[in-house]
Structure 1
Amino acid sequence: MTMNNICDIQSIAHQALELEMQTIAHLIPTLNDEFTNIVHLIGRNTGKVVVTGVGKSAIIGQKIVATLNSTGTTACFLHAADAIHGDLGIIEENDIVLCLSKSGQTPEIKIILNIIKAFGNKIIGMSAVKNSHLHTNSDFFIWTPIDREADQHNLAPTCSTIAQLAMGDALAISVSQLKGFQEKDFAKYHPGGMLGKSLHMEVAHLIHLHEKPAVQPHESIDQVILEMTAKRLGATAVIDHEDHIAGIITDGDLRRMLLDQPFQTTTTAKDIMTTDPITIAINSRAVAAIEKMQKHSITQLIVTNKNRYAGMIHLHDLLNEGFQIPPP
């Protein structure tokens, strides 16, 4: 492949992304009182949102359903072709139906619109074409205008599906905020993967990975070195008889000690410890721990439980769980 061909490919991709970006920008002026009314309609509704469409609109519809469900609005997908062959029974009395169609003239959508209206359910149409069959037969309408599709023949659903997807996201997010959807609610619906870990995993789930390195302030430097070596965390907490934190000693503290003075066996933990160390509560989220480590440029954190020493976690514990160091 020649460099010219590479440049042509990059130019085509650039143009496609520019067209899709412009499509989303053109959606913003369409947000009006009707959109606000739709958000309030869904937000106060006691039933679910049934999303329907065919072709690429059906695929986008399934993603909108997923976003609604994950942000606190119960939703399901109904393929318009299946709807006319018995699946209309999924629509219950208080459900709202969201119909997606680029042209607004999709034959399957035309067939089911009158049936759904006879059920008495509210219909929200979403189409790129005003005054289409879908527009005129919907109770509410979301306009997703496009200038053209992104491919050279103006045929492949690209800009039109991007518009549906973006407007579906805007709708779901608006409804979730109207309903007061909180982070704890989001966590309930996302227990798996890294997202689930970031929302659910606590420091308490990690401290069992290590023994608790600890010395008391009066203990000798020899004991400090033995404790740090045995527990292999590169640090040890310095605690009193009631497990209150007096300080921390790290590998760096030992190196600085040796640079400042000859090694002396009479040195005690309190002579080289760092007082007021950075700590984290045992019930804190694990993601908060890695953020705190990054902020303070440290690799260990003392864990406390009701202001008493509970253990220690290391940066590697979090990295091994798949967490990433956040940018500074």
Structure 2
Amino acid sequence: MAPNAHPDSPETRSDIAAAGRVLALERQGLEALAASLDASFAHAVDIIRAASGRVVVTGMGKSGHIARKMAATFASTGTPALYVHPGEASHGDLGMIAATDAVIALSHSGNTAELSDLIAYARRFSIPLIAVTAKTESTLATHADCVLQLPDAEEACTMGLAPTTSTTMMLALGDCLAITLLERAGFSSRDFQLLHPGGTLGSRLVQVRDIMHGPEAMPLVGPDAPMSDAILEMTARKFGCVGIVGGDRALAGIITDGDLRRHMADDLLSRRAGDVMTSAPKTVRPETLAAEALGLMNRDAITSLFVVRDDGSRPDADGGRAVEGAGGTAVDRPVGILHIHDCLRAGVA
């Protein structure tokens, strides 16, 4: 195993200086790209949105790697897309491109030989073609419906040969297109979660409705129910609580294990549930992020939350966020229940 570099050695200082130069040059490229954006960018967005099919992104070499990432970003943000290798396109993969698609071709020089068949195919079948290139007089640019020109920027490679600054600009331009399309389409966090069900992103975007127990699992009794019935309901449902609902089915209160301890007396079993309950319990909406519900349970040292829905008789001022003290109103009716273990099983932490 190689020894750790000394923080003050000449080699360390030289390496850090080289990295700094790369970042400085690529930052300058991004600044130049931002300054160069014009109506062509909006035209490209219009072309993509008008296509009823998919966005086909292509490129060769390092541009091809950027094209793969661009297609993946489009797809994950609501714009159906795929990558087509230009070399494979000449050997049958042109059949993956439909007349309803739009093509984005990446090439710094604009004269990449492997793109020629794909360009000809797009022109033959009137498939919209967007060029991302630095050369407006190139073959790609002259045959494109829209040209997104990369500004003239110095490559970070000391020889000026390895694609570095140019591919960084391509990558950023792809992100610009994807996010602009996302905003135009009104793509929401809920839409995002549907496309990212796995991993950390998926767990962060899980909503209470996705993991809660439904109406059939809720422990509920009326306010006039004897405490003996309430305790039996608590025991049977195993959530450590029971909700109290009135004739209008609104959540009036809750009885927890803590409430039982506080009211422990010889006459407890003969008392009414409404006399023992805690009014205005903590609740959440179905649209609340599970991570937010978990935070509420941790903060208040509770293990279960009733999920309530506003019946529309008053404006929902909380915007779907965690609601504290929402019980007892005539409009917040329980539709489910969430236990802290449900959050943990879903990977929400």
TM-score > 0.5, shorter chain as reference: yes
Alpha-carbon displacement from aligned partner over 1:224-249 (angstroms, at most 9, x marks no partner): 78876776545443345776422124
- Pairing of 1:99-118 with structure 2 (within 5 A): 99-110=105-116, 112-114=118-120, 116-118=122-124
Give TM-score scaled by structure 2 length.
0.70
Please say if residues 81 and 108 of structure 1, whose CA atoms lie closer than 8 Å, have aligned partners that are also in contact.
Answer: yes
State the match for 1:160 in structure 2.
Answer: 166
- Cα 1:79–1:229 change in 2 (3 A) is same
State the match for 2:191 in structure 1.
Answer: 186
State the match for 1:276 in structure 2.
Answer: 280
Q: Give the stretch that moved more between structures: 122-131 or 162-171.
A: 122-131
Alpha-carbon displacement from aligned partner over 1:178-205 (angstroms, at most 9, x marks no partner): 4x34438835961631555666765364
Q: Give the stretch that moved more between structures: 168-177 or 30-39.
A: 168-177
Corresponding position: 1:312 with 2:317: no
Q: What CA RMSD, in Å, does the superposition of the two structures yield over aligned residues?
A: 4.0
- Cα 1:11–1:276 change in 2 (3 A) is farther
Q: Give the stretch that moved more between structures: 164-173 or 67-76.
A: 67-76
Count the aligned residue pairs.
Answer: 315
- Cα 1:308–1:149 change in 2 (3 A) is same
- Pairing of 1:2-21 with structure 2 (within 5 A): 2-4=6-8, 8=13, 9=15, 12-21=18-27
Structure 1: state its 5+ residue gaps: none
- Pairing of 1:88-107 with structure 2 (within 5 A): 88-107=94-113
Q: Give the stretch that moved more between structures: 53-62 or 137-146.
A: 137-146
- Cα 1:245–1:138 change in 2 (3 A) is closer
Alpha-carbon displacement from aligned partner over 1:203-262 (angstroms, at most 9, x marks no partner): 364326x9645566567889878876776545443345776422124456567x49xxxx
Give TM-score scaled by structure 1 length.
0.74
- Pairing of 1:164-243 with structure 2 (within 5 A): 164-178=170-184, 180-183=185-188, 186=191, 190=195, 192-194=197-199, 195=201, 202-203=208-209, 205-207=211-213, 212-214=218-220, 217=223, 233-240=239-246
Q: Percent identity?
A: 34
State the match for 1:288 in structure 2.
Answer: 289
State the match for 1:145 in structure 2.
Answer: 151
Alpha-carbon displacement from aligned partner over 1:17-62 (angstroms, at most 9, x marks no partner): 4443443332211211122122222222344432221112112212
1:142 deviates by: 0.6
- Cα 1:99–1:212 change in 2 (3 A) is closer
State the match for 1:64 in structure 2.
Answer: 70
- Cα 1:211–1:265 change in 2 (3 A) is farther
Please say if residues 290 and 348 of structure 2, whose CA atoms lie closer than 8 Å, have aligned partners that are also in contact.
Answer: no
1:138 and 1:216 mapped to 2: Cα distance?
Answer: 70
State the match for 1:245 in structure 2.
Answer: 251
- Cα 1:275–1:293 change in 2 (3 A) is farther
Please tell me the residue identity of whatever aligns with 1:320. Answer: R
Please tell me the residue identity of whatever aligns with 1:33. Answer: A
State the match for 1:321 in structure 2.
Answer: 346
Corresponding position: 1:43 with 2:68: no
Corresponding position: 1:303 with 2:303: no
